[in-house]
Structure 1
Amino acid sequence: MSTANRILQLRLDGLAETMQRMLLDTAVSPVAREAADCASALFTASGELLAMSDAIPLLLGALPGQMTALLACYPPDTMREGEVYIANDPFSGGTHLPDIAVILPVFAKGQLIGFTASLLHHQDIGGMRPGSVPPDATEIFQEGLRLPPMRAGTDHVLSQEVRDLVTANSRVPGVVLADLDAQVAAARSAVQGWMRIIDDLGVGGFVEATAELLDAAEVETRAAFGALSGDEVRAVDGLDPDATLGRLDVCVALMISADGMVVDFTGSSAQVDAPINCVASGPLSAVFYAAITLLGPTALRNGGILRCLHLVLPEASVVNAATPAPVNARTNMVRAITSTVLAALAQIDPAGRPAANCGMAYVIAFSGMGADGQRFLATEIIAGGAGGGPDGAGAHAVSTDVGNARNTPVEIIEADLPLRVLSSERRRGSGGEGLHNGGDGVRRTYLALADGISVSIRGSGSSASQMDPAGVVRRNLPLRVSCAPTARRNHSARDLL
């Protein structure tokens, strides 16, 4: 591949990253602004991934499916410049309902040349619990507003009809609409940057060069996979959510060759009436992330890699749920899938492979009525730790692999919510001991400064106190939450030596 085309990939990567930075700078909700629970990417006119930001792999891996679903509903020749499209349906390429995709077609000289796309975790889109992540959901209809791919605006502005729809379904519509506007604004800024590239290359030159980029990434990937060719390897992991559901297995049979990476999930458990199922975007995110770890930091990160990934997903399973399965807590399952895929890859390419990371970063949604009579709602992500590696201990209190969100500063929590954070500390020794220890988890203690604060906790293996059965915290009573990776999911590096 020519130096000019590699420079073009860097420019496109930079454009996606600039879009991501603007999204973080303009978003209103703490989970996006502080925790960076969002992702941005660029796509070709045919819907292939062209460039992506340095963001959460769990979301980046979902955007290609969102694009495929959109183009199935709206063929490119029906699209017009300035249109805005949105979607969040997990069964049409999405993840879970709070993650809303905003996609804008990009035109140059009247020709469709690509798309900008972003995915952002929104604070509340309805459902049976504030925050739209109800841990007791048994079907998706309890989880909130479900949006199939839809035309949502013109002239790069969301329509009033969409605004009214969000307002009628969200507990905090102002926050949701502000974050949607931030997604549109970030996309518009990317369109402007894209036009500068077109000015340099011309429409025809750009289309030709990007086609070469995708082909080059495919060639690179097949060559790297060919060097690792070998026998099929297998791995099993899973979750133990509670006694009524029993163990839920993730089974992987993986083979790598110059023809690509085939990952077969046959044998994984059937879907359950609990929100820990995930849809097809979950295993794709996990496998895409795993492939990038194999290819290394200099690889061309675009849809050429995706051409080399082949997934076999059993229908109506915990790794590929079918409607009306609930999916809002699917991150637990995607993290289990990621650990299983990485465990299989460690048998093929053991050099430099760390032990398993914490299985889950916990999500807490706080909501209630403020002193001003306005409803408040904010989501916090509490991290676990990274697995120990051959060269050193795992990092403490950090989100990892497909779910690498940032920690929310205590000052932001206390500024936005009637809460005081009494303590935020490392839970020492929780990561497991060995030659190189696993990273420790986190313990936080919150003090409610108002009555009637509702708390919804999504995770597994966490502990909480001082809530009544409805999940309501009373004033001046502390809520203690621990996120401590267990030895099974975050063991030390000695298991690899």
Structure 2
Amino acid sequence: MNRAIDPITFAVVKNAMDSIVDEVAYTVLRTARSEIVKDVMDYSAAICDRHGQMIAQAKTIALHLGAIPEAMAEVRKRYGDALAPGDAVIVNDPYQGGMHLPDIFMFVPFFYREELEGFCVVICHHTDVGGRVPGSNASDSTEVYQEGLRIPVVKLYERGVVNDIMERVIAQNVRVPDRVLGDLRAQYAASQVGVRELTALFDRYGRDDARRYFAELLDYAERLTREEIRRWPKGTFHFEDFIDDDGLSPEPIPIRVALTVHEDRVSVDYTGSSPQVRAAINSTLSYTKSCTYLSVRCALKGDVPNNAGVFRCIEVHVPEGTVLNPIEPAAVAARALTGYRVFDAMLGALAQVVPDRIPAAGEGGNTVVCLSGK
């Protein structure tokens, strides 16, 4: 640890960040309108530093959070310095860092004395975002245009004022606008809780110390991760799994993993996996990376912080045009099935590296039935 970092203060700040991001998540749960958020708890929350690096994540769906770097890069590319207090940027486009259309990301910048210091991020799976079927989650769609309303990187709130045009466009294109708009407002309200608590943290420690401890949180996670990997056996470990078919054609869909353990990092190569398929089970690059990060994190000790410092130790290569990195306009609504199989395939490779850390294979995916009526 950096000698300028006081270990007691570091522990206090680390636990404070965990508490703040969990409070953001609890606020979503208390204020959301839909069953999929309030009961199923299909949502996530995180806090990023001023550079967009995730420094804390709530006890929510971990598979969402590894996708934040891809989406954050699109937000920063689109808006750069054109953000202000009270803004909220949303995106769900799978080809702009999103995962599938029902998952709407919201990024709320945190300013301290007029300088950008971080972001509160809330991702919710919304009940419906339009498209050809209720729930917007069909596995038999063949292009993303069938799957619902694609939202590019755009401000839903500007300086605390809702973008009325954007809100009306969303309401007009979804089957249950009260639930969708209600959940979006819950995302915004929860993010304001995060902004409030981060302001109190900065008031207590000051800008310079807060920045230093945020950076140390990332470096600390990276150091712990690299220290563990140094103890792993070196080499390349292969695993292959299959999805039976995509529902539109009978051919099996292979997922091939080559996990290479280097001195203090790992690289993962999915070369040889199936080309993208017609049906909507293609996994976006952001989701494939998220599943990869999570699998490695699960093989580490429990005391490694869950932040982007872990990601620094994992290099992911996914060939374009495959089922794990499709080219637009491939359909992706039911990408979760493929993502779960990516996770299982990664665990199969990791079981050859740290067998005492890896559980037996799971069920390989899930089954979703959507019912709709009035």
TM-score with structure 1 length normalisation?
0.72
State the Cα distance separating 1:45 from its structure 2 match. Answer: 0.9
Question: Secondary structure at 2:369's aligned position in 1?
Answer: strand
Q: Deviations for 1:206-233, whole angstroms, at most 9, x for unmatched residues?
A: 1111112211211111111111141110
Residues 83 and 155, structure 1, Cα contact 8 Å, conserved in 2:
yes
Q: Looking at CA atoms only, which structure, 1 or 2, has the larger radius of gyration?
A: 1
d(CA) in 2 for partners of 1:95, 1:310 = 19
Q: How high is the sequence identity, in percent, across the aligned residues? A: 34
Matched, 1:249 2:240: no
d(CA) in 1 for partners of 2:317, 2:264 = 15
Residues 84 and 157, structure 1, Cα contact 8 Å, conserved in 2:
no
What is residue 480 of structure 1 aligned with on the other side? none
State the Cα distance separating 1:245 from its structure 2 match. Answer: 4.1
d(CA) in 2 for partners of 1:362, 1:40 = 25
Matched, 1:324 2:329: yes
What letter matches 1:355 in structure 2? A
Matches within 5 A, 1:48-447: 48-75=53-80, 77-241=81-245, 242=247, 244-369=249-374
What is residue 372 of structure 1 aligned with on the other side? none
The more displaced of 283-292 and 320-329 is: 283-292
d(CA) in 1 for partners of 2:140, 2:292 = 29
Structure 1, unmatched stretches of 5+, are 370-497
d(CA) in 2 for partners of 1:37, 1:269 = 28
d(CA) in 1 for partners of 2:39, 2:363 = 21
State the Cα distance separating 1:114 from its structure 2 match. Answer: 0.3
d(CA) in 2 for partners of 1:243, 1:50 = 41
Residues 268 and 317, structure 1, Cα contact 8 Å, conserved in 2:
yes
What is residue 39 of structure 1 aligned with on the other side? 44
Q: Deviations for 1:410-460, whole angstroms, at most 9, x for unmatched residues?
A: xxxxxxxxxxxxxxxxxxxxxxxxxxxxxxxxxxxxxxxxxxxxxxxxxxx
Residues 238 and 333, structure 1, Cα contact 8 Å, conserved in 2:
no
Residues 51 and 302, structure 1, Cα contact 8 Å, conserved in 2:
yes
Q: Deviations for 1:289-323, whole angstroms, at most 9, x for unmatched residues?
A: 11221222211221111111100101010011110
State the Cα distance separating 1:116 from its structure 2 match. Answer: 0.3
The more displaced of 3-12 and 50-59 is: 3-12
d(CA) in 2 for partners of 1:157, 1:23 = 20
d(CA) in 2 for partners of 1:258, 1:149 = 38
What letter matches 2:111 in structure 1? F
State the Cα distance separating 1:155 from its structure 2 match. Answer: 3.2
The more displaced of 122-131 and 359-368 is: 359-368
What letter matches 2:356 in structure 1? A
Residues 87 and 150, structure 1, Cα contact 8 Å, conserved in 2:
yes
What letter matches 2:177 in structure 1? P
State the Cα distance separating 1:340 from its structure 2 match. Answer: 0.2
Question: Secondary structure at 1:367's aligned position in 2?
Answer: coil
In the alignment, which of 19, 22, 26 is matched to residue 31 of structure 2? 26
State the Cα distance separating 1:269 from its structure 2 match. Answer: 0.4
Q: Deviations for 1:92-125, whole angstroms, at most 9, x for unmatched residues?
A: 1111000001110000011100000011010111
State the Cα distance separating 1:243 from its structure 2 match. Answer: 7.0
State the Cα distance separating 1:352 from its structure 2 match. Answer: 4.0
| Matched length | 368
What letter matches 2:288 in structure 1? P
RMSD value, Cα: 1.3
What is residue 4 of structure 2 aligned with on the other side? none
d(CA) in 1 for partners of 2:44, 2:290 = 13
State the Cα distance separating 1:69 from its structure 2 match. Answer: 1.4
Moved over 6 A (4+): none
Residues 109 and 120, structure 2, Cα contact 8 Å, conserved in 1:
yes
Residues 245 and 272, structure 1, Cα contact 8 Å, conserved in 2:
no
Q: Deviations for 1:109-143, whole angstroms, at most 9, x for unmatched residues?
A: 11100000011010111101111112220000000
Structure 2, unmatched stretches of 5+, are 2-6
Question: Secondary structure at 2:339's aligned position in 1?
Answer: helix
d(CA) in 2 for partners of 1:11, 1:362 = 38
Residues 227 and 264, structure 2, Cα contact 8 Å, conserved in 1:
no
d(CA) in 2 for partners of 1:238, 1:17 = 36
What is residue 394 of structure 1 aligned with on the other side? none
What is residue 415 of structure 1 aligned with on the other side? none
Residues 269 and 317, structure 1, Cα contact 8 Å, conserved in 2:
yes
Question: Secondary structure at 2:371's aligned position in 1?
Answer: strand
Instruction: Work out which structure has the larger RCO, using CA pairs closer than 8 Å and 6 or more positions apart in sequence.
Output: 2
Higher helix content, 1 or 2: 2
d(CA) in 1 for partners of 2:121, 2:185 = 13
The more displaced of 326-335 and 19-28 is: 19-28
Higher strand content, 1 or 2: 1
The more displaced of 357-366 and 123-132 is: 357-366
